[in-house]
Structure 1
Amino acid sequence: MLGFYLKRLAAGLMMLIALSIMVFVLLRLAPGDPIDAYLNPLAPLSQVEMDALRQRLGLDQPWPVQYLAWLRAALGGDLGYSIDRAGVRVLPLLMERTGPTLLLMLTGLAMAIVLGIAAGVVGAVKRNSAIDVGLGVLAFLVISTPAFLKALLGLYVFAVVLRWAPSGGMLTPGAPFSLTDLLAHLTLPASLLALVYSALFMRYMRSSMIEVLNQDYLRTARAKGVGEFAVIVRHALRNAILPVITLIGSTIGIAIGGAIFIESVFDWPGMGLLMVKAVETRDYPVIMGATLLIGVGVILVNLLTDLAYAVVDPRIQVS
């Protein structure tokens, strides 16, 4: 097992390097000159001053040299300084925004896992019933609706029309911190983030559960007098949940994209909102640093998914 995880970790590191190269090249291929992000339009510089600034920033060097310089500094924990926020280091800025994003994502995914698995089990047990059909139609509608549209509709209905939740932010400005205030701001964006993933988990769980419910060992358990609830929860659920674990692990990366929409609509002070503003201001160091940090998170989640497989089903062996 240790050898397997070391191999996966090495592969993850190679993927991180490939990802950083791709983002670096795409940023350089974007329209405009990277030096424009460093200039103040109200205080134009002469060509000599621009050339001196380009040389000081290393932008006069070939792309491979620029990338290797960034990679060497990144390996040492230095992601540079933000362009949009003068004098602010990128790494502390990302760490400051990671907490709110993790809070939003983990809350949304936890809600999605509980709702999705429960709805999938109910749909499989009540197969082809009105409940199963209703859940299937609801899941189809949720999955087919774009993330930004769900966010805007949720904001309008629950925050503007019904006034059940705040319209944005993480805390009420000027008010002392309280857990109640935090939960009031968190509930709506986390619920909207959970919608699409709970529908995905439900469909996978239902399909897997139907397959498991037809297995011979469950008929044997029932014949021995085991109650139906124990048959479903103790025997069927543990085997049916394995494909869903894989889906949960692969969903983390997708959830980051969903969080970007949610954070932008609700002005949630997390990584997604930071990346949107970094793209608008061409803040290259923040974009590169955020991409690297997100990549590390996705790789760690995939490793934890493999570990969860072995915990849920001890029969699984890694050769």
Structure 2
Amino acid sequence: MLRYSLRRVVIGMGMLLALSALIFLLLRLAPGDPIDAYIDPNIPMSSSDLADLRSRLGLDQPLPVQYLAWLQQALAGNLGYSIKRLDQPVLNLVLSRIGPTVLLMGTALVIAIVAGIAIGVISAVRRNSLADISFSVFALAGISSPAFLSALIGLYIFSVRLNWTPSGGMLTPGEEFSILDLLRHLILPAALLAIAQAALIMRYMRASMLEVLNQDYVRTARAKGVVEFWVITKHALRNALLPVVTLIGSTIGLAIGGAIFIESVFNWPGMGLLLVDAVETRDYPVIMGATLVIGTCVIIVNLLTDIAYAVIDPRIKVG
């Protein structure tokens, strides 16, 4: 297991390197001149001043030289400074936004796992029933609905029309911090973010559970008179969870993509909102730093998922 984990860490570092190089290249290939993000359009600058600024920023160097210079600083823990917040190191800015995003995504993931597994099991046990058909329609709608559409519809219904939840932010401005106030702001964006994940987990759980319920050892347990609850939970559920565990790890990327839209719509002060603001203002250092941190989180989660897969099924050997 240790050798396997170390090999996966090395592979993950290579993937991070490739990701950073790709994002760096795409940013440089984007329309416009990177120097425009550093200057005030209301202040005229001569061509010599622009050339001097370009030289000081290293933008007059070839792209490989620019990337290697950035990589050298990044490996030393220096991701540079935000263009729009000159007194803010990118690393501090990114780290300050991780907490709210982890809270939002963690809550959404818990909701998705619990709801998806429970609904999937019920649908499999009550195959072709009204409940199964209803849950299948829900899953199809959840998978098909883009995150930004779900966010806008949910915001309109629950915040604007019904006034059940706040319309945005993480806390109520001007009020003292309280867990209840945080939960009121958290529940709607987390639930909306969980919809697509719960739908996917439900579909995989249902299919996996149906396959397991037809196995000989399940029929044998029933023939021995084992209570149906224990047949489902002890004998069938654990084996049916194996493909779902892998799916849960892969949905982290889906959750990150959805979180960007959810945080933008609900003005949630996390990584997604930071990344959107950085793209709009062409804040290249923040885009690179945020992308690097997000990529690192995804790779760590995938590694933990693989390890969990081996723990759940002792027959799985890693090497």
How does the TM-score come out when normalised to structure 2?
A: 0.99
1:38 and 2:57 aligned: no
Partner SS, residue 83 of structure 2: coil
Residue pairs, 1:61-140, within 5 angstroms: 61-140=61-140
Identify unmatched segments of 5+ residues in structure 2.
none
Q: Distance in 2 between matches of 1:285 and 1:128?
A: 53
Could you list the structure 1 runs, at least 4 aligned residues long, displaced by more than 6 angstroms after superposition: none
**Percent of counterpart pairs with the same letter?**
68
TM-superposed deviation, 1:5: 1.4
Q: Distance in 2 between matches of 1:249 and 1:146?
A: 20
Structure 1 stretch 38-47 or stretch 68-77: which is displaced more? 38-47
TM-superposed deviation, 1:145: 1.6
Q: Deviations over 1:279-305 (max 9, x none)?
A: 010000000001100110011001100
Q: Deviations over 1:187-213 (max 9, x none)?
A: 000000011110110000000000000
Q: Distance in 1 between matches of 2:260 and 2:311?
A: 32
Letter in 2 for 1:261: F
Q: Distance in 2 between matches of 1:131 and 1:253?
A: 30
Q: Deviations over 1:19-60 (max 9, x none)?
A: 111100100001111000000112222111111111111111
Q: Distance in 2 between matches of 1:263 and 1:90?
A: 19
Q: Which residue of 2 aligns with 1:310?
A: 310
TM-superposed deviation, 1:221: 1.3
Q: Which residue of 2 aligns with 1:150?
A: 150
Q: Which residue of 2 aligns with 1:251?
A: 251
Q: Which residue of 1 aligns with 2:176?
A: 176
Q: Distance in 2 between matches of 1:169 and 1:49?
A: 41
Q: Distance in 1 between matches of 2:280 and 2:242?
A: 41
Q: Which residue of 1 aligns with 2:6?
A: 6
Q: Deviations over 1:203-230 (max 9, x none)?
A: 0000000000000011111222211101
Q: Distance in 1 between matches of 2:133 and 2:184?
A: 33
Q: Which residue of 2 aligns with 1:219?
A: 219
Q: Distance in 2 between matches of 1:273 and 1:10?
A: 30
Q: Distance in 1 between matches of 2:286 and 2:137?
A: 41
Q: Distance in 2 between matches of 1:241 and 1:191?
A: 22
Letter in 2 for 1:67: Y
Identify unmatched segments of 5+ residues in structure 1.
none
TM-superposed deviation, 1:253: 1.1
Q: Deviations over 1:246-289 (max 9, x none)?
A: 01001101110000000000000000000001001000000000
Q: Which residue of 2 aligns with 1:292?
A: 292
Q: Distance in 2 between matches of 1:71 and 1:133?
A: 52
Q: Which residue of 1 aligns with 2:230?
A: 230
Letter in 2 for 1:36: D
TM-superposed deviation, 1:316: 1.1
Q: Distance in 2 between matches of 1:145 and 1:222?
A: 40
Residue pairs, 1:156-167, within 5 angstroms: 156-167=156-167
Q: Distance in 1 between matches of 2:243 and 2:235?
A: 15
1:19 and 2:9 aligned: no
Q: Distance in 2 between matches of 1:172 and 1:42?
A: 36
Partner SS, residue 60 of structure 1: coil
Partner SS, residue 314 of structure 1: coil
Partner SS, residue 241 of structure 1: helix
Partner SS, residue 42 of structure 2: coil
Q: Distance in 2 between matches of 1:313 and 1:226?
A: 23
How does the TM-score come out when normalised to structure 1?
A: 0.99
